[in-house]
Structure 1
Amino acid sequence: MDTQYDPGSLTWNNLHTLNEEHMYCYCGKDRNLTEVSLQCSGCLNWFHAKCTKISIDTNIPIFTNYKFTCKWCNNSSSESFKRIQAGWKEIGGCAIANLMLQQHMTESKAHKGDSIYSSAHAKKLPIFQYYFNKNEHLRPFVDKNWSSLCTERSRTATWWATLGSCLYSTKDLFVAKDENNRSASSNFCLVDPNLWNIRPGHFGVSHSRTPARAQREAVNNSTRAIYDSGTQDETSSSTITHPSSSKRQLTPFRSSSEQPGTSNSQAQSNRSNTVIALMEASSSSITEFGQSGEQNNLRHGFKYLPCQADKLFPYIQYRNSELPPYGLRLSKEDASLSVWISGDQLTSTTDFGFSMARANCPVKEGKWFFEVFIDRGGEGKMDGKDGAHVRVGWARREGNRNSPVGSDAYSYGFRDLTGQKVHQSRPTQYGEPFKTGDVIGLYISLPQLKKAVSDYQPKSPKRHRIPILFKGDTIFEYKDFKPTHQMNQLLELPEKKKEKKYWWQQQQKEQKPTHLQPEIPILPGSKIIVYKNGICQGIAFENLYSFLPTIDKYTNDDDLTEDDGSLGYYPAVSMYRGGTCTLNFGPHFRYPPPPDPELDLAINKPTMSSLSKTSVSKSLLSKQSSSSSSSSSSLNPHKKSTGIRKWRPMSERYMEYITEDVLYDLVDEIELWDWMLSQKKKVIPTKRPAIVEMSDGSLKKRKQEGTSRQEINDNEVSGFPVTKWDGSSYNKF
């Protein structure tokens, strides 16, 4: 190693950004905030850009979206440097950091390279407390230094709005000058304003201003890791990936009873190592959240899904297109605009009032199960304000996305703070409350439609859809199902009774006697069962309302009255003011239910006293080091049923749903082909996606150049230009 000092003898701080000797790089000289320095991903030492042989095109001294390896750590004895696409947290954080440095240099009348900005004077340098506005400061700065801050990111017309939303929602990184009136147009500063702490990956880690909350989250993470390691299903010995991050992998912990020759003290040590590994992985992994699809609210009464042109379908010409990540996940196309969803689309959160997100696949028949990890929820009031909350459950297509699960007759929910079950906005005492660190299991049983509905006749789905262009993407505009008059009637207040006055009847004026409750078709024998950390809470709901469309005197001509393939019950979660949860659709679960949950429940009916006892035994579990077998028995004292598993993980539903969708496309193609033969049509309508005009939300038809007016008039109903169809094309098909 050709150097004037021993890099291994340096004394570094915890973040590895400063050392007491003030020696860095190959040259062994001090580093300066106003000059570009790069941290090696191998040895974590810092190197002056001017001392390296790489070319860096940047006009700003502080940026974090790169990976650099010095020649000491590189096997080829040469340096490597690669720019990485920055997230909006990095873009906003680096922009504010550079503006803070510029502001201090202006006020101090300092120049580039002045000794006041060297690491030797880091303790003397005051902590900067400068606030910057998105429109006045950040927008022009980012626009000017786009290539340095936003490597490989396309500059959209509304990038500044996305940046403002990121500043507003990321409270653990950015603090507003007036937190009581925080908005995207507020003036922002860094929560951690010490510029010497900035390093690659710095803005991917939470910088919470409330140590108590950070400590509480660390305890919850460690408790969750203990449960993970102690209650993993013995049948699964492979490494299981944590649902909230594809980068986070843990080897299941095996207890001393499973490892011959391993003492209890060694098992406790292994368990502690598992906890440490999870906490380190949590701090190093970056969970990027993105807003749900803004096309969700283009037109009321419609839904929007991605599609693509396909030459294999010459008649319908467009088919549904599945976007990554592939698999069962939360649907950005079926979530409230207030919901933020992670990159793997399994974790969701919001900073506003209750907002709902549903999965991308429904269930119509059978027995299904999934889990929800409560990353943050069940908080009471803090400083006079409501804390974070999460509701979990099942919801239908017609359910309101801008309200919590269980707020209407189309969804069934379970509350965190009280443990109540909720349906039609009416809470009922049910089970134990849940909070951060808990795992909620949701089981649903739906009967076969042929047996449950007397006049049920399977039919080919009728999908009313057209392709449109929205911001360069081709999407289908579907007519969606609307809440019916009968279901809305269920939300009306019941007749007031003197002997029993519910909360929803308080402060209500005297009403006339209401009509009888409307008769809504149900699914006989259907039920929902909820589990908390493997403990059955009992049957939450029975005889669920049927999801099949109904026709009555209030049905309009333009209402959907036939299944379009999207009806059923969807896994659903709703969050409130920072509530965060991660969904696990299987096939591996932390607390899988018994093989036959309904039979097990019939054998062991839980009571509130037994639930309270198991919660006490669970709290003692975190203080004891016992084997996984004894841990699982203490978590659930009831005797579980044995036999063949009768339920299925929700992950198995995904390929079935995709297969059904492809089959529906084939049916649509054949039906259109058959109709054209019966009508002796000699033209094929060539569909061109309509363009969505965002100014008023209307649709604008784009006509193909060179098409005659007569050809357009031949298909005046659809508004699409047409092309001639001859026998050779038919024979080829």
Structure 2
Amino acid sequence: MDQEASLAKNNRQRRRLPGNDSGTTTKKGRPSADIAANLKLPAHGYPLEHPFNKDGYRYILAEPDPHAPFRQEFDESADWAGKPIPGWLYRTLVPNSVLLALHDRAPQLKIAEDRLAVTGEKGYSMVRATHSVNRGKWYFEITIEEMPEGSATRLGWGQEYGNLQAPLGYDKFGYSWRSRKGTRFHESHGKHYSDAYIEGDTLGFLIDLPEVENNEYLPSTFKDRPLVKFKSHLYYEDKDRVQETLKNFKALPQSKIEFFKNGKSQGVAFTDIYAGSYYPTISIYKSATVSVNFGPNFKSPEILTEYNAKGMFDRVEELISEQSLSDLLFLTENRGRLRLDNFAM
């Protein structure tokens, strides 16, 4: 049974990934709270073997949280033998650079070793970046490295629930710019936008998401989610909320997306887009190859100055701070309950 089939097969509240017994223990029968602590990750910070986001679930790589309360009590407790590790003892591993996501992509796409280029295969399929943005002005670039005859791309910005086995702009979760005829797409509706772009062109992608007062912008803590093990690493398992998200979609006034070709604006492509978190997103038809540039050394740096925008590389430190605050709030608000639920045995 292959990895994806294994994931699809296990669809219970605490589903088991291949090689997992959700009560991870040491030789003494106690849970190993730091199962992932000593496992060396590649330079880009993500396991080469991993569960893909699909089948209604998303998988978020976790690492031990040294600041979690009661950690020493947990390590010393003999009552935990054979029981699941509490998610609050871990935290989301926030990538230290913006790259193409290994896990948040269609499996058939070929990601370069440096995770800054991708090659397609057969029909349209998609990959998102590791970081998203939900307010402010942000920019990144893509260069068309190879565009064999018959191939095509749709590039732009997409939210987390966009269908990975479809072109960007297929559903409500994405906004794209197609290589053929320069068409722009959203919800499968294509409209003329610009001339086509071709092999050798460098494209710019600007999103403007005005901040709304009293909106909640912090990322999810995930500490209340179950942990599952895959290939010696632990992941938070989060169920997709597609229908709930669609039901609550609202246009964000004065928001916009603008595309650039070789440093020149092609005009505003979309306005009043849906509010939410957007990832740089690539979808490819057949064997085209593109490379991404999240900064800081852009080919058209003047765009950042002109539009008062940030490069995606600036999102790294922001997200680390936001994730830490989100985790801290969860631990502070739930400290009493965590002790009662997990140590009154």
Short-chain TM bin: 0.7 to 0.9
In the TM superposition, residue 311 of structure 1 has moved relative to its aligned partner by 4.1
**Change beyond 3 A, Cα 1:306–1:420:** same
1:573 maps to what in 2?
A: 282
Distance 2:261 2:49 in 1: 32
Cα contact 1:294–1:337 (8 A) shared by 2:
no
In the TM superposition, residue 302 of structure 1 has moved relative to its aligned partner by 1.5
Cα contact 2:156–2:280 (8 A) shared by 1:
yes
Distance 1:457 1:304 in 2: 22
**Change beyond 3 A, Cα 1:595–1:375:** closer
**Change beyond 3 A, Cα 1:473–1:310:** same
Structure 1: tracts of 5 or more residues without a match: 1-156, 159-245, 247-289, 381-386, 488-518, 548-567, 598-644, 686-713, 715-721, 723-733
Distance 2:300 2:311 in 1: 12
Cα contact 1:291–1:340 (8 A) shared by 2:
no
Cα RMSD for the two superposed structures: 2.9
**Change beyond 3 A, Cα 1:392–1:291:** farther
1:475 maps to what in 2?
A: 235
Distance 2:97 2:143 in 1: 18
Amino acid at match of 1:317: L
1:666 matches 2:324: no
1:413 matches 2:176: yes
Distance 1:349 1:291 in 2: 20
1:270-419 alignment to 2 at 5 Å? 295-297=51-53, 300-314=55-69, 316-322=88-94, 326-377=96-147, 379-380=148-149, 387-419=150-182
1:160-239 alignment to 2 at 5 Å? none
1:119-158 alignment to 2 at 5 Å? none
Distance 2:115 2:219 in 1: 30
Please give the secondary structure, in 2, of the residue aligned with 1:465.
coil
In the TM superposition, residue 660 of structure 1 has moved relative to its aligned partner by 1.1
Cα contact 1:528–1:539 (8 A) shared by 2:
yes
Distance 2:190 2:219 in 1: 38
In the TM superposition, residue 684 of structure 1 has moved relative to its aligned partner by 3.2
2:73 maps to what in 1?
A: none
Please give the secondary structure, in 2, of the residue aligned with 1:673.
helix
Structure with higher Rg: it is: 1
Task: For CA contacts below 8 A with separation 6 or more, give which structure has more relative contact order.
Answer: 2
Please give the secondary structure, in 2, of the residue aligned with 1:418.
helix
Cα contact 2:159–2:279 (8 A) shared by 1:
yes
Please give the secondary structure, in 1, of the residue aligned with 2:171.
coil
User: What TM-score results when the alignment is normalised by the length of structure 1?
Assistant: 0.36
In the TM superposition, residue 474 of structure 1 has moved relative to its aligned partner by 1.5
Distance 1:293 1:322 in 2: 18
1:656 maps to what in 2?
A: 318
1:539 maps to what in 2?
A: 268
Distance 2:219 2:245 in 1: 26
2:211 maps to what in 1?
A: 448
Distance 2:270 2:157 in 1: 11
Q: How many residues align?
A: 285
1:526 matches 2:255: yes
**Change beyond 3 A, Cα 1:358–1:460:** closer
1:19-38 alignment to 2 at 5 Å? none
Distance 1:460 1:578 in 2: 35
In the TM superposition, residue 478 of structure 1 has moved relative to its aligned partner by 1.8
Cα contact 2:218–2:322 (8 A) shared by 1:
no
Please give the secondary structure, in 2, of the residue aligned with 1:295.
coil
Distance 2:196 2:124 in 1: 18
Distance 1:392 1:460 in 2: 25
1:587 matches 2:296: yes
1:116 maps to what in 2?
A: none
1:684 matches 2:345: no
Distance 2:130 2:136 in 1: 17
- CA offsets 1:369-403 (integer angstroms, 9 cap, x no match): 110011122x44xxxxxx22222100011211111
1:430-449 alignment to 2 at 5 Å? 430-449=193-212
**Change beyond 3 A, Cα 1:538–1:356:** same
Amino acid at match of 2:322: E
In the TM superposition, residue 435 of structure 1 has moved relative to its aligned partner by 1.3
Cα contact 1:291–1:338 (8 A) shared by 2:
no
Please give the secondary structure, in 2, of the residue aligned with 1:574.
strand
In the TM superposition, residue 485 of structure 1 has moved relative to its aligned partner by 8.6
Cα contact 2:52–2:59 (8 A) shared by 1:
yes
**Change beyond 3 A, Cα 1:460–1:443:** closer
In the TM superposition, residue 333 of structure 1 has moved relative to its aligned partner by 2.0
Distance 1:333 1:444 in 2: 24
Please give the secondary structure, in 1, of the residue aligned with 2:315.
helix
**Change beyond 3 A, Cα 1:293–1:476:** same
- CA offsets 1:626-651 (integer angstroms, 9 cap, x no match): xxxxxxxxxxxxxxxxxxx6111111
Distance 1:408 1:431 in 2: 21
In the TM superposition, residue 457 of structure 1 has moved relative to its aligned partner by 5.7
- CA offsets 1:478-514 (integer angstroms, 9 cap, x no match): 2233145957xxxxxxxxxxxxxxxxxxxxxxxxxxx
Percent identity over paired residues? 30
Cα contact 1:292–1:335 (8 A) shared by 2:
no
Cα contact 1:307–1:318 (8 A) shared by 2:
yes
- Say which structure is richer in helix: 1
Please give the secondary structure, in 1, of the residue aligned with 2:258.
strand
- Say which structure is richer in strand: 2
In the TM superposition, residue 596 of structure 1 has moved relative to its aligned partner by 5.9
Structure 2: tracts of 5 or more residues without a match: 3-42, 71-87
User: What TM-score results when the alignment is normalised by the length of structure 2?
Assistant: 0.74
